[in-house]
Each structure stands twice: as structure tokens, then as C-alpha cells.
Amino acid sequence: MEEKSNLYKKEAMLAAKESVQKDIEKFQEETKERRQELLRLEQKLTKREEQLEDKIQETEQKEAEVQKKKDELLDKEDYLAELVQKQMSELERISGMTSEEAKHLLMEQLKSDLQQEANALIKENENYIKEVSNERAKEILTGVMQRCAIDHVVESTVSSVSLPSDEMKGRIIGREGRNIRTLETLTGVDLIIDDTPEAVVLSCFDPVRREIAKLALEKLVADGRIHPVRIEEMVEKARVEIEQKIKQEGENAAMEMGIMNLNKELIKTLGRLYYRTSYGQNVLLHSLEVGQIAGMLAAELGANVKIAKRAGLLHDIGKAVDQTQEGTHIELGVELARKYGEREEIIHAIEAHHDDVTANTIEAVLVKLADAVSAGRPGSRRDTLEIYIKRLQKLEEIALSYEGIKQSFAVQAGREVRVIVQPDKFDDAGSARLAREIAKRIEEELDYPGQIRVTVVREIRTTELAK
């Protein structure tokens, strides 16, 4: 037993020695490989160091050459300066003038020649502009207006909903009027149920609320179940649909104008103009038309087409919120544009399109012009015939109320009144004073969109007969 134990010990010792021997050999081999690797790296670094030293020497040589050339150039520069100075001294001696006096004389002569040429060019250009500007402007505007045709709708503050029968009116009113009260409360719209057969009239100044109420009522009539809970559901569905429609109209308008980076909130606000009208003109369609006209004018004149289109589309954006917020549509439009990160060129065009500030960019002037063209074209803005005729008559009556007036004519769809005076009762100063007084009375007594021009004509004619 003891012999076996000793035998095992010897075998274990031998195995341990063999293992240690193998580890020693492996370590020695790894050490040898690492030494070889370090030797290779050392050789590589030595080679790089030699290359760097060569480059340093080469660089030093080039620097020495550059310095040498620089010194040569400085010597030549001094030599040339000395030659120039000798020439100047010789020229001064020959001409009897100093260099400063010669420069002054030359500049004066040059200024005189340039001034004469400039005066001639100015006169030539003025004559040319007078000859062609009016015709060219008419051609551009006519071409632009013919290329742009936008539909218009008549303004209305009421909508009607058709009913399958008059029996439905009682269901809309509900027991003790609870249905109609719920609908009016939720939508803010007045329901007028009168003797009109198979129809209900909705009245509200806010076109979006009116459209929501109309859509909700149509859904209720089609469904047949009319009670307060159902009314709430249908009004909410109609509100969601109208919001989607508003967003879609705003996106369509932006896409049509080629504007791809408009703020999402500004797109929604723009879409609200689809339900907004001004003097019978749909404001969104008007904005599209202004953007198109301004863009085409900008293209004709070489201005920035993108800025003109964008400003034209957004110039009336304030009208989307002017019924619910304080301020003019221009102030609100500027505030919205600035809030949603529009550029200053766009904001300025919005602010200047009704002369609240002076337009100082060509794009702002073009937006102002396009707005006037869109609003002033025949059929774009519609009043009732009676209101229109009364306004024209009132304009002429105001002018004729002054003593010494021969005739008065309201022209250009009521945008201008021409007053012909008796020349012996008004001098030039009196004519100007009369124009101011008539304009002031028109401002005080009439309500009208835009501006009305007052033109006083004082004509003196002298006739002699040759016998």
C-alpha cells in the first residue's frame, strides 16, 4: 500500500515537472516572439525618424530658398520705388504741378465727364420709360390676369338644411325645446324654424361654427335619432370632420402654391379661410389668386417668385382669427406669421399690403398690387344691386352738395369719384381744398372696402372765331 502511494507521488511529481517544463518553454517562446516584434517596431521607428530628419532638412533648405527670394524681391521693390520716385519728380518738374494737384485735376475732369454722361443716360432712360412703361405695365397685368382665374362665392351668414318632411321640425325642437337648445348651445348657432317647407335655417356670423352645425344636423336628420346625447355625438363628429377639412384645404392651398415648409399650425389657420368670405369673395381663393398673380408678376419683373407667392398666400391670414381676437386682420396676420417663424420679408409684405407701413421691397409692392387686382377685378366682390347703386348715388350726392360743382361721376365701380367744377369759382388751391373736404365727408358718412379716390377737374376753355 505504501509502495503504491510512493509510486503515485512519483508519477504526480513527474507530471508536475513536465507541466512546469512545458510552461517554461511556452513562456520562453512567447518572450522570444515579443522581443522579435519589439525589434521590428524599433527598426520601423528608426526608419521613420530618419525620414523625418530628411524632411526637416529638406524643409530647412526650402525655407532658406524662400527667404533668399524674399530678400531679392524686397531689394527689387526698393529699386522700383526709387525709380517711381525719380519718375514722379521728373514729371512734376516737367508739368510744373505736384502729384496731388495732378490727381485732383484728373478727378475733377473725370467727375465732369461722368456727370455729363449720367445726365444724358438719365434723360434718355426717362424718355424711354415714359414711352413704354404704361404699355408694358398693361401688358404684364393683362397677361397675368388672363393666366389666373379663381372662382368666387357670394358671402352669406345663413345656411339651410333640407328635411325629408315638416314632421322632422318637431323632432328637431324636441320635448319642451330641449333638442334645439342643446344643438344651439353646443354649436353657438341660431336655428330658425319657420314656415319654410321642409327646411331649417342656420344663422351665425362664424362660418366654421355654422358649417359644423349644418353637418351635425344633416347627420342627425339622416340618422333619425335626435336626442341630447346623440346631438353631442354628432356635433363632435362634425367638428372633427370640419377640422380635417380645414387642415386638408390648408395643405391643398400650400401644395398648389408650391410651398412645402409651412408650419402645421399656420396650415390649419390658412385652411380656416376656406369658410371665410369678405365682400362676397372667398378669402382662401382670394389668397391663392393673390399668390399666383404676385408670383407671375415677380417672374415677369425678375423679383423673388417664392417670396412673392408665399407672402401673397399669407397676406390675409389674419382674417382667419379676426372674428374671435382683438385687432385688425393685418395686425393679427403679422402676429401669426412672426409666431410661426416666417421670414421678415413675408411679415413686411403682410404688414404693407394695405399701406399700414410703406412697402420697401419689390415683393411687398407686388403683393399689394396683386391684392388690388384680385379684389378689383369684375365679379370678384359682390354687393346686392340696391346697396351698390345707393353707394354710387351717395358718392355723387356728396360731391354735388358743394356750390360751384358742374357735374359729378362715380366711376370704377365706386372706387373713384370725379368732380367737375366751374373754373371761375375755384382756383388751384380751392380745387385741392375741395378734394380734401369731399374725401373727409366720404370717410365720415360711408362704409366701404378699400379706398375711394377723389379727383377734382378744373378745366378752362378759351374759344375764338377766325372770320
Burial profile 51-60: b = 16 or more Cβ within 10 angstroms, e = fewer: eeeeeeeeee
> What distance in Å separates the CA atoms of residue 391 and residue 395, rounded to the nearest whole number?
6
Cell triple for 364: 411687398
What pLDDT, on a 0 to 100 scale, did the predictor assign at position 152? 40
Look at residues 280, 274, 288, 360 and name the one whose alpha carbon lies nearest to residue 319: 274
Look at residues 346, 349, 451, 355 and name the one whose alpha carbon lies nearest to residue 395: 451
Domain ranges of the chain: 97-147, 158-232, 248-376, 385-458
What pLDDT, on a 0 to 100 scale, did the predictor assign at position 135? 63
Which is the CATH superfamily of the domain at 158-232?
K Homology domain, type 1 (3.30.1370.10)
Please report which residue ranges of 273-360 form alpha helices under DSSP H: 283-301, 305-314, 329-339, 344-352
- At what angle are helices 283-301 and 264-272 packed, to 10 degrees? 120
CB-CB contact of 263 with 346 (8 Å): no
Q: What is the pLDDT of residues 292-339, one digit of tens each?
A: 988 888 888 888 989 899 989 998 888 888 777 778 888 898 899 898
> What distance in Å separates the CA atoms of residue 32 and residue 152, rounded to the nearest whole number?
95
Look at residues 235, 239, 240, 117 and name the one whose alpha carbon lies nearest to residue 180: 235
Indicate the helix (H) or strand (E) that contains 191.
strand 190-192
Reported for 335-342, long-range contacts at CB under 8 A and 24+ positions apart, including other chains, are 336/266, 336/269, 337/266, 340/263, 340/265, 340/266, 341/263, 342/266, 342/310, 342/314
> What distance in Å separates the CA atoms of residue 320 and residue 208, rounded to the nearest whole number?
10
What pLDDT, on a 0 to 100 scale, did the predictor assign at position 285? 87
> What distance in Å separates the CA atoms of residue 384 and residue 459, rounded to the nearest whole number?
36
Q: What is the CATH number of domain 248-376?
A: 1.10.3210.10
What pLDDT, on a 0 to 100 scale, did the predictor assign at position 136? 65
Q: Which residues of the chain have pLDDT under 50?
A: 146, 149-155, 383-385
Has this prediction a pTM greater than 0.85?
Answer: no
Q: Does domain 385-458 match CATH 3.40.50.1100? A: no
